[in-house]
Structure 1
């Protein structure tokens, strides 16, 4: 078995965590006139009072610098039909400029971040803390706006290394 000092094999660890189904989100930030975006499944609620959420961002990703600089970000919880958008925004090396040109979105009223139209819910968030954690950073933020479409579709779910849906 290969692994680090803990004795946990990386591939086995990844397989174990893949058995935990997650929703799929797109996290956005705006620096100057450039929209930054990434697909994230490492997103969760932290607190109801105050309303806090977190997202985990790889420290080497260009989005890390953007979210750190912007101090405000958006979260779009994707609908089941959001797979192509999720895959596009998870593609390493995609062009930064214009990456949201073909993605239906609107600007958040509070922060101006891009919020994807085809979402079961959207959040605008202001960063309250950033914690280094291994090769990622945990970005914690206070929710300053919530968008709830009147009739959302079912959520996009990721499980065992692939996209799926709720039964």
Structure 2
């Protein structure tokens, strides 16, 4: 009898997707300004280090955002509140226009350090410079050095669980 667990050859994308759906995550909008202006809803985002300040996001090689980040080398993260589900759905919609037109109905301002759109009403914003990237399977893990961060007023965060959006706990002041 083996204690090694199930063979990885038995893991198929559908079962992995179903298993990972049971993991609650926060929801962010990744944005890039400049010539490759783009926005994308993501939940594969995490803090990496406080010293130096770094975060990571995982982006599919096939995503428009992948080319945007690798080309511009600067990006922003808007951490979304529970009242921003519509905005999260907008940036997840593959049928929305590309480039600047996708921001036409969105309230945002350019980040002072990156020029990337910072979405109004977010719980917090981070502006990052691409420090490193690692390819793994069909995604790249982008490590961003945080150039600037700012928190907005406390309210409920937007969570993603079991294929749907949910309201989280209320953030502090």
Q: Is the structural similarity TM-score above 0.5? A: yes
Correspondence 1:114 to 2:117: yes
Unaligned runs of 5+ in 1: none
Which aligned runs of 4 or more in structure 1 are off by greater than 6 angstroms?
Answer: none
CA contact (8 A) 1:79 1:152 kept: no
CA contact (8 A) 1:115 1:122 kept: yes
CA contact (8 A) 1:31 1:66 kept: no
Counterpart for residue 105 of structure 1: 108
Counterpart for residue 90 of structure 2: 88
CA contact (8 A) 2:57 2:141 kept: yes
Counterpart for residue 14 of structure 1: 17
The TM-score normalised by the length of structure 1 is: 0.92
The TM-score normalised by the length of structure 2 is: 0.89
More divergent stretch after superposition (134-143 vs 12-21): 12-21
Counterpart for residue 162 of structure 1: 164
Q: How many residues align?
A: 162
Shift of 1:58: 0.6
Counterpart for residue 4 of structure 2: none
Instruction: Measure the CA separation in 2 of the matches of 1:45 and 1:125.
Output: 12
Structure having the higher Rg: 2
Correspondence 1:132 to 2:139: no
Instruction: Measure the CA separation in 1 of the matches of 2:102 and 2:154.
Output: 24
Unaligned runs of 5+ in 2: 1-6
Q: Which has a greater percent of helix?
A: 2
Q: How does 1:54-69 map to 2 (within 5 A)?
A: 54-69=56-71
CA RMSD of aligned residues (A): 1.5
Counterpart for residue 36 of structure 1: 38
Deviations 1:55-101 (A, max 9, x none): 00110111111110011000000010111111111111421131011
CA contact (8 A) 1:119 1:152 kept: no
Shift of 1:10: 2.1
Instruction: Measure the CA separation in 2 of the matches of 1:20 and 1:146.
Output: 26
Instruction: Measure the CA separation in 1 of the matches of 2:8 and 2:145.
Output: 36
